[in-house]
Amino acid sequence: MLSASRLIRITPNLMCGPDILEVQEKLTKLGYKPGTPNGVYTEATRQAVRRFQDFRGLKMDGLVGPDTWKELNKDQRAFHPLKKPKSSVSSSSPKIHVHVDTRILTLTSNGTITTYPVAVGKLSTPSPVGEWTIVYKSVDPGGPFGARWMRLSVPWGSYGIHGTNNPSSIGKAVSHGCIRLYNENVIELYDRVWVGTPVSITGTVRKIRNLRKGFHGEDVREVQQMLSDLGYYPYAIDGYYGNKTRLAVIRFQKANGLTPDGIAGKKTYKALQIAHDLATDDTDP
């Protein structure tokens, strides 16, 4: 996986949220002393992340992305034990289904079905299709997380179901992979599910192509847009991987220590995502 919900890092207005609190709690239990677990990504937390990355053989950049999340979540059950015994799971127990194409969340509980409109991940940071469970819940996380937060068991990032401070985004594919609801809806949902509730996310699975000269598509358009935002591609965003796009990719690859082959594969795409998030100061989940 390339995406990991939002990229956690030091920003001028310090990032905060339940995902950062989770990082701090896990680092604390592992003995890395990130400072007081308060959900704010401080310099002390960044340095603890760097020490953890060094010990696990990761790049010491202080950025909490997919590789760092995978390492932090290797023993996820120890941090988020299920609170409901397996014997309690029955046909009447709550189950959540999210369809990323229709952008609808369906809750089935006690024979009743309730649907809610949601925002889902955008093309570059898709929502994680698969079978998950809720592993953590919190009230009033605030900011872009809105009124409630329900963390999912996805191992490569901090994905969850949450509220929003941007209600106009509901019904769109705009998130870093999280599932957003209107605050009044997420409060209702929160009260009807528990830690251990299964969550099925279905829909179109995003396939990462090795983009090269001659390719067409929305993924090409997306790469062009990121290159344009970063100043490498001052041309029309047309979805065609021509020579101008290839040369722009080569310039980006050279500037970021990648093999300058002009092919936008997984490593280049991952570097583009990180560079774009940093350049645009995008901190929404």
Residue 116: its H or E element = strand 112-117
Residue found under tokens 């029955």: 90
Closest CA to 73 of 37, 121, 23, 38: 23
CB neighbourhood size of 28 (10 A): 15
User: Which residue is listed with tokens 């010990």?
Assistant: 55
Coil, strand or helix: which one is 47?
helix
Give CA–CA dist 214/26, Å, rounded.
Answer: 46
What are phi and psi for residue 151, nearest 5 degrees? -75, 140
Measured from the Cβ of residue 122, the count of other Cβ atoms closer than 10 Å reads: 16
User: First-to-last CA distance in the chain?
Assistant: 17
Ramachandran angles phi, psi of 187, nearest 5°: -65, -45
**Dihedral sign computed on CA atoms, order 183, 185, 186, 187:** positive
Q: Following DSSP, what letter does each residue of 122-151 receive, concatenated? A: -TTS----EEEEEEEEEE---GGGTTEEEE
Dihedrals φ, ψ of 212, to 5°?
-150, 175
Assess contact for 16 and 40: CB atoms under 8 A: yes
Query: Active-site positions?
Result: 162, 178
DSSP at 119: B
